[in-house]
């Protein structure tokens, strides 16, 4: 999911709101991954990356807000399949690659923390 943090808004609140709006899932836990400059030297815009815990059995369908012209198709992919999709180039979005590689390195520790 993605969202813009408005003045006075906390990133955790944005993550919870956007998870519900864009996936139809309640955010059960949130863990910061990292943040980075999108175009260093050209802009000060940063992206904050987080791992969110949800009940994935409730994920699926079409979500988003009509007034934002969102039409978001939600589906789940097993983690191992997603890791393979990064390796074979199917996933070619840098932000998603960072998140999935972080998950691949930290998955066992996160499981221990969240269980």
Residues in the chain: 115
- Output the DSSP codes for 30-63: EEEEEEEESSTTT---EEEEEEEE--GGG--EEE
Per the annotation, the verdict on 18 as an active-site residue is no
If you search the block for the tokens 């944005």, which residue do you land on? Answer: 14
Handedness of CA 100, 52, 77, 68 (dihedral sign): negative
Task: In whole angstroms, give the CA distance from residue 43 to residue 60.
Answer: 35
Q: What are phi and psi of 5, to 5 degrees?
A: -85, 115
Q: Which of 68, 70, 80, 113 is catalytic?
A: 68
Active site members: 68
């Amino acid at each position: 999911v993605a969202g813009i943090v408005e003045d006075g808004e906390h990133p955790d609140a944005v993550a919870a709101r956007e998870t519900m709006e864009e996936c139809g899932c309640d955010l059960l836990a949130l863990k910061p991954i990292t943040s980075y400059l999108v175009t260093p030297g050209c802009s000060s815009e940063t992206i904050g990356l987080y791992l969110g815990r949800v009940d994935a059995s409730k994920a699926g369908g079409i979500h988003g807000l009509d007034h934002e012209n969102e039409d978001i198709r939600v589906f789940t992919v097993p983690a191992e399949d997603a890791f393979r999709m990064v390796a074979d180039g199917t996933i070619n979005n840098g932000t998603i690659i960072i998140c999935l590689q972080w998950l691949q390195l930290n998955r066992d520790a996160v499981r221990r923390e969240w269980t």
